[in-house]
């Protein structure tokens, strides 16, 4: 072991963009620190999936606090550690054991996808509820999503239990990546892998809000959640 390893600690999340689907805008949005708000961008949006994780997100309307958790790859074997942003614990355990406690305070099972955009930026894409409706079909084809772009070019309109309309993204394959894209993807994946290795090698800090310049695989996903409710300045 090199003596320099003693100075190696937890790496910051390498994601340059944090993307979430906005039903009202029917688009993925990122947060702009300059404009102090979430900015939508036009479809189609393409990305190359690099790593699939699961997490818990949400908002407790009674406590008026945001909900975060660690990221895990297998809900059947690994424990979630769910807390408010201030670090106070909500629940710890397998998802199947703590699901009811999480739902009671507004916690939501969330798919956390680490991806590379066509311009080589690392992005973290979070999907909840019905947004995962057809993404599971994409994940089944590991021999394709590793070598093809995933594309969101359209959306579907659905109704919730209160008969209110909402939209969800439609995921399709969007073409084979080129050799230079494959090289960039390997580099991006190496950065993401090093990030998760650093997390496992150091004590877990209390949950904090995602860090971003513009803030804005196949793991076990509870089956009920998968079906529930040109060049520009962007690096996509």
DSSP 24: T
Which region holds residue 26: left if phi is over 0, alpha if psi is between -120 and 50, else beta? left
Segment among 24-28, 109-113, 216-220 with least mean pLDDT: 216-220
Instruction: Indicate the average pLDDT of the chain.
Output: 83
The predicted pLDDT at position 136 comes to 86
CA-nearest of 18, 25, 19, 17 to 168 is: 25
Q: How far apart are CA 189 and CA 201, in angstroms?
A: 18
| Backbone CA torsion sign across 95, 100, 104, 109 | positive
Residue 85 has pLDDT above 80, yes or no: yes
Q: In this predicted model, which residue has the larger pLDDT, 128 or 42? A: 128
- Label residue 141 by pLDDT band (50, 70, 90): confident
Residue 228 has pLDDT above 60, yes or no: no
121 token code pair? 């930026």
Q: In this predicted model, which residue has the larger pLDDT, 162 or 1? A: 162
Segment among 1-15, 72-86, 108-122, 193-207 with least mean pLDDT: 1-15
- Label residue 209 by pLDDT band (50, 70, 90): very low
Q: How far apart are CA 236 and CA 231, in angstroms?
A: 9
What is the CA 33 to chain-centroid distance, rounded? Answer: 20
């Amino acid at each position: 072991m090199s003596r320099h390893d003693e100075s190696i600690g937890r790496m910051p999340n390498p994601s340059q963009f944090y993307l979430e689907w906005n039903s009202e805008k029917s688009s993925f949005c990122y947060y702009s620190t300059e404009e102090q708000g979430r900015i939508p961008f036009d479809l189609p949006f393409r990305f190359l999936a690099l790593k699939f994780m699961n997490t818990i997100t949400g908002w407790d309307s009674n406590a008026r606090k945001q909900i975060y958790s660690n990221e895990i790859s297998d809900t059947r074997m690994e424990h979630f550690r769910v807390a408010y942003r201030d670090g106070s614990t909500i629940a710890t355990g397998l998802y199947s054991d703590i699901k009811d406690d999480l739902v009671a305070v507004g916690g939501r099972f969330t798919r956390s996808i680490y991806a590379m955009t066509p311009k080589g930026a690392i992005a973290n894409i979070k999907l909840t509820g019905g947004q995962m409706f057809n993404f599971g079909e994409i994940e089944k084809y590991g021999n394709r999503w590793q070598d093809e772009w995933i594309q969101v070019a359209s959306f579907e309109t659905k109704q919730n239990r209160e008969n209110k309309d909402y939209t969800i993204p439609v995921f399709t394959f969007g073409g084979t990546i080129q050799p230079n894209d494959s090289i960039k993807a390997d580099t991006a994946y190496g950065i993401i892998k090093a990030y998760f290795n650093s997390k496992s090698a150091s004590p877990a800090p209390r949950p904090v809000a995602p860090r971003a310049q513009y803030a804005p695989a196949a793991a076990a996903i509870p089956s009920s959640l998968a079906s529930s409710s040109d060049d520009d300045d962007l690096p996509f």
